[in-house]
Amino acid sequence: MRRAQGLAGVLALVVLWWLLAVTVFAGGGAVPTPWAVLASMGDDGWAFYGPNVTTTVSAAAQGFLWGNGLAIGVALLVLLVPRLEAVATQLAVISYCVPLLAIGPIVLVVFGGEATVVFLAAISVFFTTLIGALLGLRSADRAGLDLVTVYGGGRLARLRYVQIISALPSTFAGLKISAPSALLGAIIGEYLGSNDQGLGVSLMISQQQFQVPRTWGLALVAGLVAGLGYAAVALVARVVTPWSRGEAQ
């Protein structure tokens, strides 16, 4: 039922897009029809999209791993050393609030090249995963913690057997959001001229050359890749944490 509703929603969106392209925006050239975009994508083919998608996804994946790994590590450290919480959360909020376009040029000057793209992808995911991991670690069942303590378990034992397991659902919730965020951070980094190719670079060139159908095609591909990233993490979450959906106890 949900899949049918989702397909119906996509179909309705495509129909609305086509209607707007041939009526409201007809003649302006800013909104091509879906068929014009698909034709442009077919003409460009894998030879164009393949290297660009691969470059951006590679940088986004590296940023995803670095940013989320750091976020989870900081969350565990805060749980073991509660005094660090205020500093950690303040840094996370700052990383979330500062516009990437504002710090991007500075990062580009300091690191240069692909490192800038990876850094912006990493900083895009840090806050969401850190907050999710912290909330999950603190949601551990009190009875489970007491049981481990009764059997002689210390802080690390409670963390291993109770708190980490309790944190998985909310941590994966943060990771699902992080997948599209990492891609967006990587594209912004490429917009700054950090790479010679990638979705961000191609988008910028297409806009400068007024290649409207290609620009729309690149945007659609970027959205599709972001959606696939979200779906992939969601699939892993379903396998790893079936109890969070009531599928297992």
> CA-to-CA distance for 184 and 135, rounded, in angstroms?
25
pTM: 0.89
Q: Give residue-wise pLDDT tens across range 151-207.
A: 777 777 888 878 888 899 999 999 999 999 999 999 999 988 767 889 999 999 999
- The pLDDT confidence band at residue 148, using thresholds 50, 70 and 90, is confident
Quick: pLDDT tens for 12-32: 998 998 888 888 888 777 889
pLDDT for 42 equals 94
Average pLDDT, the chain: 89
pLDDT (0 to 100) of residue 246: 52
d(CA 62, CA 240): 22
Percent above pLDDT 70 for the chain: 97
CB atoms within 10 A of CB 219: 14
Return the SS3 of 249.
coil
CATH of 33-245, one of 1.10.3720.10, 1.10.10.10, 3.40.50.300, 1.20.1250.20: 1.10.3720.10
- Give the CA-trace dihedral at 96, 159, 230, 197, to 10 degrees: 60
pLDDT over 80 (residue 216): yes
